Amino acid sequence: MDHPVASSQLTESLVKRLAGPSTGKAGLAKDQTEINRIIAEASKGSKFYENEKRKDKDLTERIARILKLRDEAIEGVDLTKIEHHVDKLIVDLENGRDLSQVIVHFDMDAFFANVELLHNPTLKGKPFSVGGGVISTASYEARKYGVRSGMPSFIAKKLCPELILLRSHYEWYNEESNKVFTILRRYDPRLSAAGCDEGYLNITPYLQKHNLNPDECVEEIRRTVHAETNLTVSAGIAPNMNKPNGQYHLAFDSKTIIDFMGGLSIRKVPGIGRVNERLLESVGVKTCGDIYTHRAVLYLMDKQFGLRFLLRTYLGIASNEVKPYERNERKSIGAERTFSPLSTTKDMLDKLEEVAAELEGDMESSGWMGRTVTLKFKLDTFQVLTRAKSLNHWVNKKEELFAVGKELLFPELPISIRLIGLRVTKLKDLKASTSEGIKRFFGLAQQATSGSKRKAYDIDEDEADNASVDQEHDNDDDVMPGFHEQDEADIDPSQHDVDDDEELQIIQPLAHTRKRPPNSVPGISMSHPPALRSRSKSAGPSRSHGAAIAAPSTTISTPPETHTCPICNEVLTTNNTGLNAHIDYCLSRDAIKQAQGTSTKANKVLSSGDTTKEYAMNGLKRLKLRPDAPVKSKRKG
DNA sequence: GCGGATCAC
DNA sequence: TATGGTGATCCGC
């Protein structure tokens, strides 16, 4: 059935991709279907759109391969037995849950837009957006029309003719961002920034010192930020969300967290983007609760879907580690630029040289050199390609970067491109091993010496990731394809004041942490917290993530050993052995009930651990599965 | 090590 | 009137 696709027959996923849900909520000035229609109309026929269609088709084929693989995998297999085994894994993970740390995720509301408001109050109440050709942030009024971050301005204008398009003022955002982070550091000097308007705080020590509970503290933080900057911030404590004005609290217990997670769309989990959402959906997993339901299949397809990551997501367990970004974590540094399609060698070289000059400036000012240079270019068809070369020495000079770039570009020639960029990896830190390194060395030595620094972690497992979500607004996010910026939350003016938005999230605390977390926190993007890249670099508001928390155990150290049975949810005060005994009992009881026809979720026992790996960065394993069907379409020009 | 992909912000 | 930029990770070669 490979009939020409009627132009009107856009797949659901594609439409979603182009517009983003935000299902018709009351209060929207425009109906979502109307919004989708306008966007589809404006996109149709463009190269960008055609490229999206191509990708969508590839994904559909990939899904077909996955389903085939699944069918082969489950054939003749006793899924019940597998479920038992997985349940055992779940118990192990549950035992590792750490509810001792109170971690808060904060996110500035419509950051760029609100900073613009500070500079121009007359914009209040009007639909406006910040950004150039592509919108970084839209005011709440603009969002009512379907305007979203990541959306090209010309489409936004169609959705909202009165839209006021503002240019970005990064200096202003940087300044405000610094103010906010400075305030937040009073509550956790080691906070972890995730961009210029978002981050995580471990307020456990602060709470103890000031004898506050999480809600009081978060309220104080939000109040202080607003008082000192006139900007509003949303925060999530554990599974917290803010309803009317801020805080809603989710109890710090396993059952509550699991129940909460259960209703969340997996798309809300960091690391699960549009592609993984579709892949998981193809095997029946739409919500975090579905992970449990389909655990046997997910187990069999661990290679495609990282079972362990998903189980932790189901349980609502994530990393508990909150620490500042460290210089030595940097892996690459690069620069790229988009322009109207160019095809003459001279034009392209001019752009390449510009990019090389910019990169040299950045490398020099930040003190890095690297041994591998990667050229990136995007064809006028929007297809992105890269070509790399490793050298015997470290480079950071424009001339050399340019030379290597040329060398990589020439063989590709004749091409027509709309973007060109250079990235350097295999870095050498020019500022390391000097005073800074010495300091760090002594710092670590001191820590090690003071041994008891706080036992903090339990066993040492591996990994650390997190999952989080937003709740309440079902889907509001998603914008245009490639850009995802994120609207922090959907606004539903009919419900609350636009001022404090909603948002909420969770983060799952987890017990063991590893020394070096693969990347626990979503993305510690830019270097230091706030720092926006000076120029027209990027940034934009966020996606919701979670932060959250942990049990407020009064005693900071090791909380009494209480565990919640993953089967019956009963809270037990016992050690692992006792817990396992209880679970065995529980499982057998469950089996009986099941035999009697009682529907139950959990099943039985398990045996040992598993060797699932996880996606270091975001969690999900690559759901690849490519028998190899290279982009059939034109292979690079 | 390289190139393609996915993801976050 | 034509859809961003920076950085990271993972997979399969």
d(CA A174, CA A178): 6
User: Tell me, what's the pLDDT at A251?
Assistant: 76
Give the count of beta carbons closer than 10 Å to the beta carbon of residue A354: 16
pLDDT confidence band for A442 (50 / 70 / 90): very low
The last residue of one of the domains, among A408, A432, A456, is: A432
User: Tell me, what's the pLDDT at A29?
Assistant: 76
Query: Please, what is the average pLDDT of chain A?
Result: 73
Of A445, A462, A360, A343, nearest to A405 (Cα)?
Answer: A360
The DSSP result for A552-593, as a single string, is --SSSSSPP-EEE-TTT--EEES-HHHHHHHHHHHHHHHHHH
Q: What three-state secondary structure class fits A476? A: coil
Q: Which nucleotide is nearest to A40 (CA to C1')?
A: C3
d(CA A369, CA A397): 9
A327-341: pLDDT as tens digits: 999 999 999 999 999
Give the count of beta carbons closer than 10 Å to the beta carbon of residue A351: 20
User: Tell me, what's the pLDDT at A349?
Assistant: 98
Enumerate the active-site residues of A.
Answer: 198
d(CA A242, CA A246): 4
Q: How far is CA A171 from CA A134, A150, A298, A599, in A?
A: 19, 21, 47, 58
Chain B positions with an atom below 7 A of a protein C-beta are 1-9
d(CA A251, CA A256): 6
pLDDT confidence band for A15 (50 / 70 / 90): confident
Six token digits for residue A623: 């759901």
Question: Does a structural domain hold residue A456?
Answer: no
The last residue of one of the domains, among A432, A457, A478, is: A432
Question: Does a structural domain hold residue A395?
Answer: yes
Sheet holding A198-202, edge to edge: A192-193, A198-202, A103-108, A233-237
The yes-or-no verdict on residue A22 having pLDDT over 50 is: no
A173 touches strand B (CB under 7 A): no
A629 by Cβ neighbours in 10 Å (0-12 / 13-18 / 19+) ranks as exposed
Question: Does a structural domain hold residue A131?
Answer: no
A550-607: pLDDT as tens digits: 222 221 222 334 555 444 445 555 544 444 444 434 333 333 233 222 222 222 111 1
Of A280, A269, A306, A259, nearest to A601 (Cα)?
Answer: A259
Q: Scan for tokens 């990235």, then name that residue.
A: A423
A274-323: pLDDT as tens digits: 999 999 999 999 999 999 999 999 999 999 999 999 999 999 999 889 99
Residues whose CB is less than 8 angstroms from the CB of residue A531 and which lie 6 or more positions away in sequence, other chains included: A174, A177, A196
- Does A13 or A215 have the greater pLDDT score? A215
d(CA A107, CA A102): 16
Chain C positions with an atom below 7 A of a protein C-beta are 1-13
Q: How many domains does chain A have?
A: 2
Q: Which nucleotide is nearest to A359 (CA to C1')?
A: C6
Question: Does a structural domain hold residue A418?
Answer: yes
| Range of A21-30, A295-304, A487-496, A610-619 with top mean pLDDT | A295-304
Q: Which nucleotide is nearest to A58 (CA to C1')?
A: B5
d(CA A254, CA A266): 19
A136 touches strand C (CB under 7 A): yes
| CATH code: domain of residue A344 | 3.30.1490.100
| Amino acid whose CA is nearest the C1' of B1 | A390
Question: Does a structural domain hold residue A398?
Answer: yes
Question: Does a structural domain hold residue A389?
Answer: yes
Q: Which amino acid, A563?
A: H
**Which residues span the domain enclosing A50?**
13-59
A373 touches strand B (CB under 7 A): no
d(CA A563, CA A92): 11
User: Tell me, what's the pLDDT at A356?
Assistant: 98
Question: Does a structural domain hold residue A616?
Answer: no
The last residue of one of the domains, among A399, A432, A465, is: A432
Q: What three-state secondary structure class fits A199? A: strand
pLDDT confidence band for A436 (50 / 70 / 90): low
Contact A489, A474 (CB under 8 A): no
d(CA A131, CA A537): 11
Buried b (16+ CB within 10 A) or exposed e, A6-27: eeeebeebbbbbbbbbbeebee
Question: Does a structural domain hold residue A441?
Answer: no
User: Tell me, what's the pLDDT at A210?
Assistant: 98
A501-560: pLDDT as tens digits: 333 333 332 222 222 222 222 222 222 322 333 333 333 333 333 333 222 222 122 233
| Amino acid whose CA is nearest the C1' of B2 | A388
A271: Cα within 13 Å, side-chain hemisphere: 30
